[in-house]
Amino acid sequence: MEPQVSELKQKIEDTLCPFGFEVYPFQVAWYNALLPPVFHLSLPGPTLAFLVLSTPAMFDRALKPFLQSCHLRPLTDPVDQCVAYHLGRIREDPPSCPASQSLPELQIEVIADYEVHPNRRPKILAQTAAHVAGAAYYYQRKDVEADPWGNQHISGVCIHPRFGGWFAIRGVVLLPGIEVPDLLPTKPLDCVPTRADRITLLEGFNFHWRDWTYRDAVAPQERYSEEQKAYFSTPPAQRWALLGLALPSEEHSLVSPELLPLTTHTPKPQNPSTVRGWLSPRVSPSASPGP
* Region of poorest pLDDT, from 128-132, 136-140, 258-262: 258-262
Which tens digit of pLDDT belongs to each residue from 222-272? 999 999 999 999 988 888 778 777 666 543 433 333 332 322 222 333 333
* Backbone angles phi and psi of 172, in degrees to 5: -130, 150
The mean pLDDT of 135-154, rounded to a whole number, is: 98
When pLDDT is averaged across residues 94-108 and rounded to a whole number, the result is: 61
pLDDT of residue 49: 98
**93 falls in which pLDDT band (50, 70, 90)?**
low
Q: What would the pLDDT profile of 194-215 be if each residue is shown by its tens digit?
A: 999 999 999 999 999 999 999 9
Cα–Cα dist 234/268, whole Å: 10
pTM of the model: 0.82
Q: 32-46, pLDDT tens digit by residue? A: 999 999 999 999 999
Q: How confident is the model at residue 280 (pLDDT cuts 50, 70, 90)?
A: very low
Whether residue 68 is predicted with pLDDT greater than 90 in this model: the reply is no
Question: For 11-23, what is each residue's pLDDT tens digit?
Answer: 999 999 999 999 9
